[in-house]
Amino acid sequence: MTRDWKPDAADDAITAIARTPVLLIALDFDGTASPLVAEPMSARALPEITDAVARLAALPATFVAYVSGRSLVHLREIAEHADDSPVLLAGSHGAQYWFPGEGEANAGEQEQERELRESLFDELEPLLTDYPGVELERKTFGVGIHGRPAEPDVERAAFAAVDEVMTRRAARWRRRTGDRILEFSSRAEGKDAAIAALRARTGATGIVFAGDDVTDEDAMRVLAAGDLGVRVGAGETAATLRVDTPQQVADLLGVIATERASGRE
């Protein structure tokens, strides 16, 4: 049962997760760390999120990760993620990883998939010029079609046209929908795989995962009894808590950081 988080009230679930021996904070980026924006590459984490992430990452036995559908190269850009960052990254819905002290984990792509992806770019790019405001994103393992800047009827028509192309040429690719975005990937991994990989990597005894969209529910559904799911905004969810905005995500992370720091004094 999902309940609204009340910032001014004590919350046993927050206290419990803050005291877990090894904590992983995993955050979706768009709509969670950053407000949703019309231009995808202009997204940036709220300063309050950045501050809370830094506080958490500095604590013992505490890890922070961004888990995104973005390609790793784009996630690093919008997260302003430096080579010496302590923040782990899972990009492409869990098909790509970056680990502190190691860098990018190799995620190979078959030559035939790369050739198909490039051919699809070549077909979709001119196709989408007929739909004002709809933008094509080149992803490492697929394509993303953003409709937020477009009129809703234009977006629907563009998505239908892209669906026709993908059904004809890449029917086995994984199709995902989100908040005014349509995505296709040659890789089957979802954010559930990312959570499993990050749990194994960090040895986390408790995970906080926060996300705002349909694809984030893959991660919510695999959280264990000692974990905490946080849904940002409206929509059906398997999360325990709901907050309204990325600013409230920052507030919640601040509470967790304070609780965790005080419990270790």
Q: Are residues 54 and 89 in the same domain?
A: yes
Please compute the mean of the pLDDT values over residues 123-131 and round it to a whole number.
97
Q: Is 48 exposed, middle or buried (0-12, 13-18, 19+ CB in 10 A)?
A: middle
**CA within 13 Å, CB half, 123:** 16
- CATH number for the domain including 23? 3.40.50.1000
Confidence grade of residue 234 (pLDDT, cut at 50, 70, 90) = very high
Q: Are residues 179 and 197 in the same domain?
A: no
Please compute the mean of the pLDDT values over residues 108-136 and round it to a whole number.
92
The per-residue b/e assignment along 6-16, b for 16 or more CB within 10 angstroms, e otherwise, is eeeeebeebee
Instruction: Give the span between the Cα atoms of 17 and 150, in whole angstroms.
Output: 41
Final residue of a structural domain among 132, 150, 185: 185
Q: Are residues 101 and 15 in the same domain?
A: yes
Q: Are residues 93 and 134 in the same domain?
A: no
CB–CB of 11/254 below 8 Å?
no
Q: Are residues 85 and 32 in the same domain?
A: yes
Instruction: Give the span between the Cα atoms of 186 and 116, in whole angstroms.
Output: 10
* Long-range Cβ contact pairs of 244-250 (< 8 A, separation 24 or more): 245/35, 246/31, 246/32, 246/33, 246/34, 246/35, 246/46, 246/49, 247/46, 247/48, 248/5, 248/7, 249/27, 249/32, 249/33, 249/49, 249/210, 250/46, 250/48, 250/49, 250/51, 250/52
Q: Are residues 36 and 77 in the same domain?
A: yes
Q: Are residues 159 and 255 in the same domain?
A: no
- Summarised one tens digit per residue, pLDDT across range 5-14 is 999 999 999 9
Q: List the structure tokens of 127.
A: 């196709």
- Summarised one tens digit per residue, pLDDT across range 191-231 is 999 999 999 999 999 999 999 999 999 999 999 999 999 99
Final residue of a structural domain among 161, 185, 209: 185
Could you tell me the residue range of the domain that residue 10 belongs to?
3-106+190-263
Instruction: Give the span between the Cα atoms of 248 and 193, in whole angstroms.
Output: 26
Percent of the chain with pLDDT over 90: 89
- The SS3 of residue 185 is strand
- CATH number for the domain including 122? 3.30.70.1020
pLDDT at 159: 98
Final residue of a structural domain among 152, 185, 218: 185
Instruction: Give the span between the Cα atoms of 202 and 138, in whole angstroms.
Output: 30
Q: Are residues 13 and 96 in the same domain?
A: yes
Q: How many domains are contained in the chain?
A: 2
CB–CB of 191/215 below 8 Å?
yes
CA angle 160, 211, 145 (to 5 degrees): 20
